[in-house]
Amino acid sequence: MLKPAEVQPPLTVTELAQEIKRELRPLWRVFVKGEVSGMKQLGSGHYSFRISDAESRVDAFLFANDARKLGLVPEDGQEFVFRGRVDFAPKYGQLRLIVDYVEYDDVGKLRAQLEALKQRLEAEGAFETARKRPIPYLPRRVALITSPTGAVIHDLQETIWDRFPNMEILVYPVQVQGVASPGSIAAALRRCNEEGLASVAVVARGGGSFEELYGFNTEPVARAILASRIPVVTALGHTSDRTIADLVADAECRTPTEAGARVVPRRSDLLTRLAEREHRMQRETGRRFERELEKLARRREKLGQALPNLLRVRVERLRRCRAELERMSPAQQLARRHDSLGDRGGRLDRAVRLRFTQALAQVEQRRRQLVALSPDSVLQRGYSITQDAETGAVLRSSADTAPGRRLRVRLGRGALTAGVEAVDG
């Protein structure tokens, strides 16, 4: 039984919660050191996790707006110093630390973890020059993976458009620091590859401290760059240390201005080079044309020398044939027999003379036929010998030539050079 002095009205649950909140006011700005576990990103963009040491554990909560402002990425198993306020959530009856600032408790340990990741990637050949993709000389489009606000995107766009006006730029906005930055950067790179619109991607940030650049030292970002089919250029500002993103990228620049100059050429320089190449091409074409004309002239000269030689050879062949025919002719044979037989009588003599006369007539007839068939006689009657001007081949059919071909026509007196305009039959 409660004594009368101890009897007091009971508190409602809400009144108790409010009383707890009042008692917690001295803990509205505290610093807590502990190890992160159970890190989870909620659908609203907030984060929930636990902070623990060897003996105790407290629940913690990080609002999305505060998470975007942070310069580092809390991960399970790492120790941090958290700043925040202790709060009681009446709806859930939960006591938790509302975090608004995080800093590393042991940067040396963090650097050791990064060195382990670097060694693992190096063993895989991720930093090898032979693996890296060439940056296109003139990209179709340039993708910018950076914060949509601030000087970085302005400098990139200004540099690119100053060098190559109207170059198409695609912007993939990302968080460049804070707990969400690795996932944001990796997702933007994957989306850029899936869309396949850009020829090169620039991942950029305006520099920062080791902690602020930690997102670019994470494995998700490194793996996204390695998996990219599109060449990736990093421009993370002037830093004392190269990030893992710099090491795996296909090209590394110190400033956005340098990156803009790296991914696009100057349009004026390109036009100058094109003009120089056009001039060299015209000059070389002229030289080749002159050489071809010289070759053609030499061929025509050779053909002009070959045709008379050919005719002389054939005339000499006909002369030898004529001499052989005369030597083998019946008249010659009869004359020899006549010399050997002598005079055997008038009848035989008349017969021989008759045969001799007939033989002479036949020989004369054959001589006239041979003369009539000789090339010179044929040409004298109005005929001509037509040859291809380049090959020297004698044309026997309209199918042996084609429009545009050059011809050499030998006449009874002199020769002509002509061109084929059309072919009939």
User: Tens digit of pLDDT for each residue in 278-303?
Assistant: 888 888 887 888 888 888 778 777 77
Predicted pLDDT of residue 336: 67
Predicted confidence band at 339 (pLDDT cuts at 50, 70, 90)?
Answer: low
The CATH classification number of 8-105 equals 2.40.50.140
Among candidate residues 232, 196, 209, the one with its CA nearest the CA of residue 104: 209
Predicted pLDDT of residue 262: 94
Across the range 397-417, mean pLDDT stands at: 86
Predicted pLDDT of residue 263: 96
Predicted pLDDT of residue 221: 95
Predicted pLDDT of residue 353: 80
Across the range 261-288, mean pLDDT stands at: 86
pLDDT of 190 strictly over 90? yes
For tokens 């920062």, the residue is 208
Predicted pLDDT of residue 80: 85
Among candidate residues 159, 218, 137, the one with its CA nearest the CA of residue 185: 218
Predicted confidence band at 360 (pLDDT cuts at 50, 70, 90)?
Answer: confident
Residue 232 buriedness (CB in 10 A; 0-12 / 13-18 / 19+) = buried
Predicted pLDDT of residue 11: 81
Share of the chain above pLDDT 70, in %: 90
3-state secondary structure of 369: helix
d(C-alpha 230, C-alpha 295), whole Å: 50
Predicted pLDDT of residue 369: 76
d(C-alpha 235, C-alpha 237), whole Å: 6
Predicted confidence band at 193 (pLDDT cuts at 50, 70, 90)?
Answer: very high
DSSP 242: -
Predicted pLDDT of residue 173: 95
d(C-alpha 111, C-alpha 90), whole Å: 41
d(C-alpha 21, C-alpha 68), whole Å: 27
Which of 42-56, 228-242, 310-324, 397-411 shows the lowest mean pLDDT across its residues?
310-324
Across the range 150-169, mean pLDDT stands at: 93
pLDDT of 66 strictly over 90? no
160-189 per-residue burial string, b: 16 or more CB within 10 A, e: under 16: beebbeebebebbebbbbbbbbbbbbbbbb
Among candidate residues 98, 99, 104, 59, the one with its CA nearest the CA of residue 81: 104
pLDDT of 160 strictly over 90? yes
Which tops the pLDDT comparison, 115 or 25? 115
Across the range 17-32, mean pLDDT stands at: 81
For tokens 């056009």, the residue is 278
Which one-letter amino acid corresponds to residue 241? Answer: D
Structure tokens at 379: 């040409």
Which one-letter amino acid corresponds to residue 248? Answer: V
Q: Please tell me the pTM assigned to this model.
A: 0.52
What lies within 8 Å, CB to CB, of 127 at 6+ separation is: 121, 247, 248
Q: Does domain 111-265 have CATH number 3.90.198.10?
A: no
Chain centroid, CA 213 distance in Å: 33
Predicted confidence band at 334 (pLDDT cuts at 50, 70, 90)?
Answer: low
What stretch of H or E contains 46? none
Predicted pLDDT of residue 344: 62
Could you read off the pLDDT of 83-100 as tens digits, one per residue?
Answer: 999 988 888 888 899 999
Which one-letter amino acid corresponds to residue 127? Answer: F
Is 194 within 8 Å of 97 (Cβ atoms)? no
Which of 46-55, 194-203, 274-283 shows the lowest mean pLDDT across its residues?
274-283
Predicted pLDDT of residue 229: 96
Predicted pLDDT of residue 142: 97
Predicted pLDDT of residue 90: 83
Q: What are phi and psi of 395, to 5 degrees?
A: -85, 125
142-146, strands of its sheet edge to edge: 169-173, 142-146, 200-204, 232-235, 251-253
Predicted pLDDT of residue 132: 94
Predicted pLDDT of residue 220: 92
What lies within 8 Å, CB to CB, of 159 at 6+ separation is: 256, 257, 259, 260, 261
What lies within 8 Å, CB to CB, of 69 at 6+ separation is: 178
Predicted confidence band at 232 (pLDDT cuts at 50, 70, 90)?
Answer: very high
Q: Among 46-60, 109-123, 292-306, 312-326, name the most confident range.
A: 46-60
Residue 422 buriedness (CB in 10 A; 0-12 / 13-18 / 19+) = exposed
What lies within 8 Å, CB to CB, of 254 at 6+ separation is: 235, 237, 238
3-state secondary structure of 140: coil
With vertex at residue 365, the alpha carbon angle to CA 363 and CA 367, rounded to the nearest 5 degrees, is 65
Chain centroid, CA 130 distance in Å: 17
385-388, strands of its sheet edge to edge: 385-388, 406-410, 415-419
Dump strand ranges (E) for 259-393: 385-388
Predicted confidence band at 346 (pLDDT cuts at 50, 70, 90)?
Answer: low
Predicted pLDDT of residue 340: 62
pLDDT of 341 strictly over 70? no
Q: Among 279-288, 302-311, 377-386, name the most confident range.
A: 279-288
DSSP 144: E
DSSP 87: E
Q: In whole numbers, what is the pLDDT of the chain averaged over residues?
A: 84
Among candidate residues 357, 413, 417, the one with its CA nearest the CA of residue 387: 417
Residue 361 buriedness (CB in 10 A; 0-12 / 13-18 / 19+) = exposed
